[in-house]
Amino acid sequence: MTVDNIIGKLLGDISEAINLHGDGGDLSWSGISKIATSLSASAAQLTLKAEFEVPFGRYLIHKDSDFNIQLDVFSENYIGAPHNHDTWGVLGVISGVLEVTDYQLTADSLVTLRKSILPSGSVSGFREFEDWHSTMTFALPQVASFHVYGAAFDMDNGKRFVEKSGIEEYARGTLHTIDETRSFLVARS
Ligand SMILES: [Fe+2]
């Protein structure tokens, strides 16, 4: 399988899941589950072409009117702020180990619900109404993951939770383009 074959199969599976299980802008748990299954298989088949040579950042894999996919490449010992996406999402780990923390937003605080430790091929998902989470990485190897979000995801601006002041608006980092992104990936033999 080539990288394009693997991503092409994933795109078809995601479109099918949204057609069958879309719920307005949200997606039912059945749809999340279908995407998680396909994303797990895709993530396990891929790796970074040259580990440690891919600069950390956000890379756009795909975008259409129903969903989008980002490749996130993390730095070592990264600690991300809690944030949300105002839509459903599924993430799958391609390489390294990613920690994901899920939260429940109350009137004035974020309550930690769970922490998940995700090695390559592992997935995690959320629906629109409970979408607060954060990510963290540990030591090497470099962590890379696919993030699939509904169409409502604002790729440029978002909301994050800061301990002292609560929810604040922020500008997300640079989103690099599709062509340079796929050249970073290679199919595992
Ligand atoms: Fe996120």
| Alpha carbon distance 71, 74 (integer Å) | 10
What pLDDT does 179 receive?
A: 66
Q: Strand 67-73 to strand 57-63: parallel, antiparallel, or no bridges (unpaired)?
A: antiparallel
CA of 83 to the centre of ligand 1 (A): 6
CA of 35 to the centre of ligand 1 (A): 16
Q: 137 burial class (0-12, 13-18, 19+ CB within 10 angstroms)? A: buried
Could you read off the pLDDT of 120-134 as tens digits, one per residue? Answer: 999 999 999 888 999
The residues spanned by each domain of the chain are: 3-187
pLDDT band at 52 (very low <50, low <70, confident <90, very high): low
Q: For 86, how many CA atoms within 13 A lie in the half-sphere containing its CB?
A: 10
What pLDDT does 141 receive?
A: 84
| Alpha carbon distance 183, 1 (integer Å) | 15
Structure tokens at 179: 């062509």
What pLDDT does 156 receive?
A: 92
pLDDT at 140 over 80: no
b/e map 33-63, b = 16+ CB within 10 Å: bbbbebbbbbbbbbbbeeeeebeebbbbbbb
Fold for 3-187, please state it. Jelly Rolls (2.60.120)
| Alpha carbon distance 21, 18 (integer Å) | 5
| Alpha carbon distance 149, 137 (integer Å) | 21
CA of 134 to the centre of ligand 1 (A): 6
Task: Indicate the SS3 state at residue 184.
Answer: coil
pLDDT at 88 over 80: yes
How far is Cα of residue 102 from the mean position of the Cα atoms in its chain? 13
Percent of the chain with pLDDT over 90: 75
CA of 50 to the centre of ligand 1 (A): 25
Could you read off the pLDDT of 12-50 as tens digits, one per residue? Answer: 999 999 999 998 889 999 999 999 999 999 999 998 887
CA of 110 to the centre of ligand 1 (A): 15
